């Protein structure tokens, strides 16, 4: 029964996402920055991913069982020799909810604002950190769910005063 419900919601999410993407609905806007704009070579800093979530919408977090059903937020990094990831992605203070009817398990989510952090060790003076984020936002008002995906890129100079280490995308 759980597989049938999961299949139904997966198909429903895909159908809704196709219709929603045609309308360019973006109920969650991502931005990112280094926690320290001019880190030194050898220093470990965080990349702070901030998500502004529209009213009446929520974004699934990254720290629950991906087999539960909802799309777990993920961030994938494009490897290069200017940095190395340290540990895994951390969700900062998400809400928790146990859902018995649909998912039969506990998941985490954000409302209004979400924050994720990834620690990285700086290995070179010219820093280029890029990758993609993948998440899902939903609203209980209409039952609609929207995938939110996109690339990110941070560029900086280790120890420099003039750093362009903050970028934003919609």
- Written as one string, the DSSP assignment of 19-76 is HHHHHT--SEEEEEEESSSSPPTT-EEEEEEEEEE-TTEEEE-SSS-GGGSSPPPEEE
Beta bridge partners of 109: 60, 95
Split at pLDDT 50, 70, 90, the class of 159 is confident
Residues 99-151: pLDDT tens digits?
888 878 889 999 999 999 999 999 999 999 999 999 999 998 999 999 999 99
Distance, in Å, from the CA atom of 156 to the CA atom of 123, rounded to the nearest integer, reads 12
CA atoms within 13 A on the CB side of 101: 1
Name the pTM for this structure: 0.79
Whether residue 29 is predicted with pLDDT greater than 70 in this model: the reply is: yes
Domain ranges of the chain: 2-159
Whether residue 24 is predicted with pLDDT greater than 70 in this model: the reply is: yes
Q: What is the mean pLDDT of the chain?
A: 85
pLDDT of residue 21: 47
Q: Apex CA 167: angle with CA 138 and CA 78, to 5°?
A: 80
CB 133 within 8 A of CB 150: yes
Please identify, in words, the CATH class of the domain defined by 2-159. Answer: mainly beta
Residues 54-109: pLDDT tens digits?
999 999 999 988 888 888 999 999 999 999 999 999 999 999 998 888 878 889 99
Whether residue 41 is predicted with pLDDT greater than 50 in this model: the reply is: yes
Whether residue 53 is predicted with pLDDT greater than 50 in this model: the reply is: yes
C-alpha distance from residue 45 to each of 108, 128, 148, 170 (Å): 25, 14, 26, 25
CB 150 within 8 A of CB 116: no
Find the range with the poorest average confidence among 2-6, 42-46, 72-76, 133-137.
2-6
CB 150 within 8 A of CB 49: no
As a whole number of angstroms, the longest Cα–Cα distance in the chain is 58
Q: Which is higher by pLDDT, 38 or 34?
A: 34
Distance, in Å, from the CA atom of 11 to the CA atom of 33, rounded to the nearest integer, reads 35
């Amino acid at each position: 029964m759980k597989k049938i419900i999961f299949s139904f919601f997966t198909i429903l999410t895909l159908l809704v996402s196709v219709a929603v993407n045609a309308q360019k609905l973006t109920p969650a806007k991502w931005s990112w920055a280094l926690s320290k704009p001019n880190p030194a070579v050898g220093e470990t800093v965080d990349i702070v991913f901030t998500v502004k979530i529209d009213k009446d919408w929520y974004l699934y977090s990254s720290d629950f069982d991906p087999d539960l059903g909802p799309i777990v937020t993920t961030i994938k990094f494009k490897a290069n020799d200017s940095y190395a990831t340290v540990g895994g992605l951390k969700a900062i203070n998400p809400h928790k909810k146990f859902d018995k009817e649909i998912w039969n398990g506990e998941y985490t989510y954000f409302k209004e604002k979400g924050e994720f952090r990834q620690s990285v060790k700086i290995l070179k003076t010219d820093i280029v950190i890029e990758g993609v984020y993948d998440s899902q936002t939903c609203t209980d008002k209409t039952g609609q769910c929207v995938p939110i995906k996109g690339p990110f890129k941070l560029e900086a100079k280790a120890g420099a005063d003039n750093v362009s280490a903050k970028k934003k995308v919609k």
